Amino acid sequence: MIRKILIGLLIVLVIIQFIHPTKNQSTGISANDITKSFGVPDDVQGILKKACNDCHSNNTVYPWYSKIQPVDWWLNDHVVEGKRKFNLSEFITYPAKKQRKKLEEVIETVKEGEMPLNSYTWIHKEAILTEAEKLTLSNWADTLSKSIAAKNNLPAVSDK
């Protein structure tokens, strides 16, 4: 009986290797990318590339193990969820109020060590942000948030 169950599981495992979600890969930078309308200094772009873009842009760099199921489905779920919450490739499409809110969330999650996710940094050690990188990213997001608020006559954050 156990042998039949193991053979059945092996067959299912082999079959699911042929079923993969669509990859989150684009051919270039989206017209709605944050870099198209806002200043993103090289040091911030480097931080975003190493720690954010895989889950928060339209272009994920997939590791070798993404070809194995069910790992690919798990990774896809992370990417879809990450892009749903904050997508750097579609940032310009957000209304100004949402842009500011998302930048404030970047500051908060980075400062509190919630981003990048531990499940990401277990494998991608280079994505672990130093205190200096956290400060650089937070300062940039804060400056951009204030600029968006001023340009769009949004109330100060404390006035909410």
Does some domain include residue 6? no
Does some domain include residue 5? no
- Counting the structural domains of the chain, the total is 1
Instruction: Give the H or E element holding residue 72.
Output: helix 71-85
The answer to whether the bond into 116 is cis (omega within 30° of 0) is: yes
Contacts 24+ apart (CB under 8 A), 114-120: 115/51, 115/52, 116/51, 116/52, 116/55, 117/55, 117/78, 119/78, 120/54, 120/55, 120/78
> Whole-angstrom Cα distance, residue 121 to residue 72?
17
Tokens 């990774």 correspond to what residue? 75
Judged against a pLDDT cut of 90, whether residue 57 lies above it is answered with: yes
Does some domain include residue 11? no
Does some domain include residue 15? no
Does some domain include residue 79? yes
What is the extent of the structural domain holding 87?
21-159
Q: What pTM was computed for the model?
A: 0.82
CB contact at 8 A, 111 and 138: yes
Does some domain include residue 1? no
- pLDDT tens for 71-83 read 888 888 889 999 9
- pLDDT tens for 105-131 read 999 999 998 999 888 888 889 999 999
Does some domain include residue 14? no
Does some domain include residue 9? no
